[in-house]
Amino acid sequence: GENVEQHPSTLSVQEGDSAVIKCTYSDSASNYFPWYKQELGKRPQLIIDIRSNVGEKKDQRIAVTLNKTAKHFSLHITETQPEDSAVYFCAASSGDKIIFGKGTRLHILP
Protein backbone atom coordinates (compact mmCIF):
# COMPACT_ATOMS: atom_id res chain seq x y z
CA GLY A 1 0.00 0.00 0.00
CA GLU A 2 0.87 3.66 -0.14
CA ASN A 3 3.45 5.04 2.29
CA VAL A 4 4.02 8.77 2.71
CA GLU A 5 7.14 10.16 4.38
CA GLN A 6 7.25 13.80 5.51
CA HIS A 7 10.17 16.01 6.59
CA PRO A 8 11.00 17.81 8.73
CA SER A 9 8.88 16.85 11.73
CA THR A 10 9.43 20.30 13.25
CA LEU A 11 10.32 23.56 11.52
CA SER A 12 10.96 27.00 12.99
CA VAL A 13 11.24 30.03 10.72
CA GLN A 14 11.45 33.74 11.34
CA GLU A 15 8.31 35.68 10.54
CA GLY A 16 8.51 36.89 6.96
CA ASP A 17 10.84 34.09 5.85
CA SER A 18 9.83 31.10 3.72
CA ALA A 19 9.04 27.58 4.90
CA VAL A 20 9.41 24.40 2.86
CA ILE A 21 8.01 20.99 3.77
CA LYS A 22 8.87 17.92 1.73
CA CYS A 23 7.12 14.60 1.21
CA THR A 24 7.80 11.41 -0.68
CA TYR A 25 5.34 8.69 -1.64
CA SER A 26 5.77 5.07 -2.65
CA ASP A 27 2.83 4.17 -4.91
CA SER A 28 3.48 5.29 -8.48
CA ALA A 29 -0.28 5.05 -9.13
CA SER A 30 -0.97 7.94 -6.74
CA ASN A 31 -2.40 10.89 -8.63
CA TYR A 32 -3.80 13.25 -6.01
CA PHE A 33 -1.72 15.11 -3.40
CA PRO A 34 -3.50 17.34 -0.89
CA TRP A 35 -2.04 19.37 1.97
CA TYR A 36 -3.92 19.90 5.22
CA LYS A 37 -3.37 22.37 8.04
CA GLN A 38 -4.32 21.55 11.60
CA GLU A 39 -4.30 24.22 14.27
CA LEU A 40 -4.01 23.20 17.90
CA GLY A 41 -7.12 21.33 19.03
CA LYS A 42 -8.86 21.84 15.70
CA ARG A 43 -9.82 19.73 12.73
CA PRO A 44 -7.50 19.34 9.72
CA GLN A 45 -8.48 21.56 6.82
CA LEU A 46 -7.44 21.45 3.18
CA ILE A 47 -5.20 24.35 2.16
CA ILE A 48 -4.11 23.31 -1.32
CA ASP A 49 -3.95 20.23 -3.51
CA ILE A 50 -2.30 19.15 -6.74
CA ARG A 51 -3.06 16.45 -9.25
CA SER A 52 -0.53 14.44 -11.19
CA ASN A 53 -1.17 16.17 -14.49
CA VAL A 54 0.48 19.39 -13.27
CA GLY A 55 3.87 20.11 -11.79
CA GLU A 56 3.13 23.23 -9.77
CA LYS A 57 0.21 25.09 -8.30
CA LYS A 58 0.11 28.39 -6.45
CA ASP A 59 -2.47 30.12 -4.27
CA GLN A 60 -1.33 33.47 -2.87
CA ARG A 61 1.51 32.72 -0.41
CA ILE A 62 1.23 28.96 -0.76
CA ALA A 63 2.62 26.82 -3.57
CA VAL A 64 3.01 23.10 -4.15
CA THR A 65 5.37 21.33 -6.52
CA LEU A 66 5.20 17.74 -7.71
CA ASN A 67 7.94 15.60 -9.22
CA LYS A 68 6.31 12.37 -10.38
CA THR A 69 9.54 10.82 -11.56
CA ALA A 70 11.15 11.17 -8.16
CA LYS A 71 7.84 10.64 -6.33
CA HIS A 72 8.15 13.67 -4.17
CA PHE A 73 6.14 16.83 -3.60
CA SER A 74 6.67 19.94 -1.55
CA LEU A 75 4.77 22.74 0.14
CA HIS A 76 6.20 26.25 0.03
CA ILE A 77 4.90 29.07 2.23
CA THR A 78 6.33 32.53 1.54
CA GLU A 79 6.24 35.64 3.73
CA THR A 80 5.25 33.58 6.74
CA GLN A 81 2.91 35.10 9.32
CA PRO A 82 2.10 34.15 12.94
CA GLU A 83 -1.18 32.54 11.85
CA ASP A 84 0.79 30.06 9.75
CA SER A 85 1.87 28.33 12.97
CA ALA A 86 0.21 24.90 12.87
CA VAL A 87 0.80 21.27 11.95
CA TYR A 88 0.86 20.60 8.22
CA PHE A 89 0.11 17.19 6.71
CA CYS A 90 0.86 16.03 3.20
CA ALA A 91 -1.12 13.15 1.73
CA ALA A 92 -1.35 10.96 -1.34
CA SER A 93 -4.13 9.00 -2.98
CA SER A 94 -4.42 6.67 -5.94
CA GLY A 95 -8.19 6.90 -6.05
CA ASP A 96 -9.58 5.37 -2.88
CA LYS A 97 -8.24 6.10 0.55
CA ILE A 98 -6.02 9.10 1.30
CA ILE A 99 -2.81 8.32 3.20
CA PHE A 100 -1.22 11.05 5.31
CA GLY A 101 2.34 11.81 6.31
CA LYS A 102 3.16 12.20 10.00
CA GLY A 103 3.00 15.96 9.91
CA THR A 104 5.29 18.96 10.29
CA ARG A 105 4.88 21.30 13.23
CA LEU A 106 5.64 24.79 11.92
CA HIS A 107 6.61 27.51 14.38
CA ILE A 108 6.71 31.11 13.20
CA LEU A 109 9.16 33.07 15.36
CA PRO A 110 8.54 36.78 16.02
Q: Report, in Å, the least distance between residue 79 CB and another protein.
A: 25
Answer yes or no whether residue 85 interacts with another protein by CB under 8 A.
no
| 9 and 104 Cβ atoms separated by less than 8 Å | yes
3-state DSSP call for residue 88? Answer: strand
Q: How far is the CB of 91 from another protein (least distance, A)?
A: 8
Give the footprint of another protein on residues 23-62 (CB under 8 A): 31-32, 34, 36, 42-46, 49, 51
Interface pick for another protein out of 21, 25, 35, 101 (rule CB under 8 A): 101
Neighbours of 8 (CB within 10 A): 12
Instruction: Name 21's Cβ contacts closer than 8 Å, sequence gap at least 6.
Output: 6, 7, 8, 11, 74, 75, 88, 90, 104, 106
Residues found near another protein in the complex (CB under 8 A): 1, 6, 31-32, 34, 36, 42-46, 49, 51, 89, 93-103
